[in-house]
Structure 1
Amino acid sequence: MFGLRASPKPRTIERETVAFALADGRIVEIVRVRDPRAKRLRITVDLRGVRLTVPPRASAKAADAFLASHREWLASALARRGDAPAGLQPHVTATLPLRGVDVPVHWHAARRVHVECSDDAIAFHVTDGANDATVRGALRDFYEAQARADVGRWLPRYLDGLPRAPSRLRLRTMSTLWGSMTRDGALTLDLALVLGAPAAFEYVLVHELCHLIHMDHSRAFWHEVEARCPDWREHRAYFRSDGQALKPKLHALCRAG
């Protein structure tokens, strides 16, 4: 009996970017992810790009065949998606999203790569020959500093009504959630929040802080949220509409996540 030899099960998630030709000759980049938790081959398309998820026992040949069999579907899905957010281009990108608006960017030659913010513009300092990863990393650091400054301004006004303060704060890219709070008080917020409306960002902070009182989404939990943020329904609706674009924007600019 002959058959395909199963690939060894990976211990961690493995990612690689591959080029794939559509029927009309266009070349698209696909992130191929071998995920030990996956049960089947799957293609997803969103504003962050195309992702092919491969379970641990599927061979590379089977993954390629699966992708080829979905060539027409993929072209249709990309057409429905529309244009992906523009990436960061040194000396070309004219504006960057921050706190719900597009802020003008001024590019400057410098001895080190760093980003600063004034009242009406973002100053992006780059060195000659700086690689893309360094430039994107500087932007990510800038966004994290801005997000931490926002949280630092808002947090003190809510501490009096909490059983304790968060034990630590992490800002990272999150695939679906906007924030989380662990039982030991570790607070995680999506870095993409700093790109959007500040009031919506503050709502997410309030939401997660209320989990220090109730580690659930019970009626009592929502009572605590409403006491601190009466407009929480409006902000939640924001994430179901305008907020959907924030995560792919951050990904395109910083190649994060």
Structure 2
Amino acid sequence: MPVLTVGSTGIDYVLRRSASVTQARITVTPNAVEVVVPAAATDEEVATVLHRRRRWLFEQTRHMSERVASSNAVSRFVSGAKIPFRGRLMRLRVEPVEGTLIEVSYRNGFVVGYPRALSEAVRDDLIEDALRLWFRKRLREDAAVFVRRHGKPNGLEPRGMLVKDQKYLWGSCGRDSVVNLNWHLVFAPKTVLEYAVVHELCHLRHRTHDGAFWGLVATILPDWKVRKAWLDNNEHFLTLRRLGPT
């Protein structure tokens, strides 16, 4: 993997050439730095782009590292752990139950029942899997409510809705009129999820983020700027990070 050196800091990045782009694009996420350039770009042109953006890259990677450090982290899924949900940290209670399946319920906090015979060595992994499945199902249910509330009354009816694990997007609306939502939105307040749903519904009529698009969003959610600001400023909260063994 190539490395960009800024002062004494080395920044690993992935270089990808694409025939569909006309200018360089750099994306910084918690997991990687991706540099996408036109297929015909020379090594010298790539180096020039990176040199020109080196200060921005340094600040973005440092900012991303700080966000990751302050994000929700769970070392073990045990009673007393805090789990993010709808903009708040909720207490987890774990208890053994009869049966063979892990059961997840929510009553002013999460209650997870695991089979008494379940090995402690695999308990955390299976509880995490069960919670993630529960989150996806709950997001799908919550989002469906907002689609019904704002879709048909505004003439914005998608052909379907999918919950995905999207790397860079909170949502998208394809030309097939299917709305896609990032399942991590379950960690945001429901008002923010509502904004994300409305945002993608409005793309059924307006494909770009032009004035007409934002005007349509505003007619449905007059306070959309407040909701969008929460999403922009709290990206680090919208995750459930598992700490490795120390």
SS of match in other structure, 1:161: helix
2:112 corresponds to 1:124: yes
2:209 is aligned to 217
Q: Is residue 192–residue 246 contact of structure 1 (8 Å, CA) maintained in 2?
A: no
Task: Quote the Cα distance in structure 2 between the aligned partners of 1:116 and 1:162.
Answer: 34
Q: Is residue 173–residue 190 contact of structure 1 (8 Å, CA) maintained in 2?
A: yes
- Letter of the 2:216 counterpart: E
2:83 equivalent among 82, 91, 96: 96
Distance 1:81 1:164, change over 3 A: closer
- Letter of the 2:148 counterpart: P
Task: Quote the Cα distance in structure 1 between the aligned partners of 2:35 and 2:123.
Answer: 31
1:113 equivalent among 98, 102, 106: 102
Q: Is residue 162–residue 212 contact of structure 1 (8 Å, CA) maintained in 2?
A: no
Counterparts of 1:39-58 in structure 2, within 5 Å, are: 48=30, 51=32
Task: Quote the Cα distance in structure 2 between the aligned partners of 1:209 and 1:78.
Answer: 31
SS of match in other structure, 1:216: coil
2:237 corresponds to 1:246: yes
Listed one character per residue, the Cα deviations across residues 120-161 of structure 1 (whole Å, up to 9, x for unaligned) are 121112233435443221111111111112112222111233
- Letter of the 1:128 counterpart: S
1:196 is aligned to 188
Deviation at 1:163, TM superposition (A): 3.9
- Letter of the 1:125 counterpart: G
- Letter of the 1:81 counterpart: E
- Letter of the 1:183 counterpart: R
- Letter of the 1:143 counterpart: F
1:169 is aligned to 161
What is the aligned length?
201
Listed one character per residue, the Cα deviations across residues 83-125 of structure 1 (whole Å, up to 9, x for unaligned) are 354135122552211111111111011332231112x121112
Task: Quote the Cα distance in structure 1 between the aligned partners of 2:91 and 2:77.
Answer: 13
Counterparts of 1:66-77 in structure 2, within 5 Å, are: 77=62
Superposition TM-score, scaled by structure 2 size: 0.67
Deviation at 1:77, TM superposition (A): 4.9
Q: Is residue 109–residue 128 contact of structure 1 (8 Å, CA) maintained in 2?
A: no
Distance 1:224 1:164, change over 3 A: closer
2:138 equivalent among 121, 129, 146: 146
Deviates more, 1:199-208 or 1:107-116: 107-116
Distance 1:229 1:124, change over 3 A: same
Structure 2: unaligned runs, 5 residues or longer: 1-11, 19-25, 37-57
2:66 is aligned to 81
SS of match in other structure, 1:157: helix
Distance 1:213 1:79, change over 3 A: closer
Distance 1:94 1:87, change over 3 A: closer
Distance 1:124 1:88, change over 3 A: farther
% of aligned pairs identical? Answer: 23
Structure 1: unaligned runs, 5 residues or longer: 1-31, 56-72
Task: Quote the Cα distance in structure 2 between the aligned partners of 1:178 and 1:122.
Answer: 24
Distance 1:113 1:162, change over 3 A: same
Task: Quote the Cα distance in structure 2 between the aligned partners of 1:79 and 1:208.
Answer: 26
SS of match in other structure, 1:223: helix
Deviates more, 1:122-131 or 1:212-221: 122-131
Superposition TM-score, scaled by structure 1 size: 0.64
Task: Quote the Cα distance in structure 1 between the aligned partners of 2:139 and 2:147.
Answer: 12
Deviation at 1:79, TM superposition (A): 11
1:230 is aligned to 222
Task: Quote the Cα distance in structure 2 between the aligned partners of 1:78 and 1:217.
Answer: 26
Deviation at 1:179, TM superposition (A): 0.6
